[in-house]
Amino acid sequence: MRHLVTAAICVAAMTLPALSASGEELSWSCRNNDLEISCNHGKCEVAEAHTAMDVHLSRDEISVCAYSGCWAGKPSAIVQTGAFLTFAGTSLPFSTNPEDLADVSVTIATKSHVATILVAGGYATPAVCEPK
């Protein structure tokens, strides 16, 4: 049992660094100003009209806002692999309906500042990000 706890602590330390590999703070803001893609029932569709998602990411927060509220909480993992920086959150409550829990992942290509926002069972949409 002690080995499992030690392994879990080592994994957490590796996935939640204070700084990215380039030495920058892990804080980003992203928006999908150009389009929204919703994925449900085995297919994805581009919305004809949409309100841009507003995404804020840091060591202490992952917040994905859409329409009337935000899925928000502390990231369960932050992983940097090469040019990709991924923030993931599990069972994040929606601010206007806390029973609406979602698993969320945002992967940023840090050189191009292009991201993919995934809200499990809801959205798979590109976005443009800026470090903060």
Query: pLDDT value at position 121?
Result: 85
Positions in the chain short of pLDDT 50: 1-19
Query: pLDDT value at position 9?
Result: 32
Query: pLDDT value at position 117?
Result: 95
State the pTM of this model. 0.79
Query: pLDDT value at position 109?
Result: 96
Query: pLDDT value at position 20?
Result: 53
Query: pLDDT value at position 24?
Result: 56
Residue 2 CA, chain-centre distance (Å), reads 31
Query: pLDDT value at position 40?
Result: 82
